């Protein structure tokens, strides 16, 4: 990420293309574009306000299930490497400070009760 000068681990995300776009439609599009994956099921986890002190931005978080792989469709200026890992490992990376992106941390924490975590 250019603003912070770091490569980060993040969940797929993107902006609504047009005012009034269904956030679920955006989630489906971004999952496909950034990872090449499609999902049979999407569960709404929550909606968060990112920085209420100076922004009216909201982010809608979904859990994608029953994934099928495909081909990425990233923009020319996007450099996305798909990384798969068990939820337990991702949560460990949150706790060690290796995952620092707020939407990703919240997504992982919200998904945990809905997903089996191997011991």
User: Which sequence positions are flagged as catalytic?
Assistant: 76
33 and 71 Cβ atoms separated by less than 8 Å: no
How many helices (H) does the chain have, and how many strands (E)?
A: 3, 2
Residues 6 or more apart whose CB falls under 8 angstroms from that of 84 comprise none
- Closest by alpha carbon to 87, among 71, 63, 69? 63
Contacts of 17 (CB under 8 A, 6+ apart): 26, 29
- Give the DSSP letter string of 27-50: HHHHHHHHHS-EEEEEEEEEEEES
């Amino acid at each position: 990420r250019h603003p912070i000068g770091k490569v980060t681990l993040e969940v797929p995300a993107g902006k609504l293309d047009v005012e009034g776009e269904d956030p679920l439609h955006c989630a489906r599009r971004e999952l496909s574009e950034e990872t090449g994956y499609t999902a049979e099921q999407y569960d709404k986890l929550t909606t968060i306000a990112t920085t209420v002190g100076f922004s009216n931005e909201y982010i809608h978080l979904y859990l994608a299930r029953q994934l099928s792989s495909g081909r990425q469709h990233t923009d020319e200026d996007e450099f996305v490497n798909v990384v798969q890992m068990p939820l337990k490992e991702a949560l460990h990376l949150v706790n060690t400070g290796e995952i620092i992106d707020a939407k990703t941390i919240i997504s992982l924490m919200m998904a945990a009760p809905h997903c089996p975590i191997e011991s």
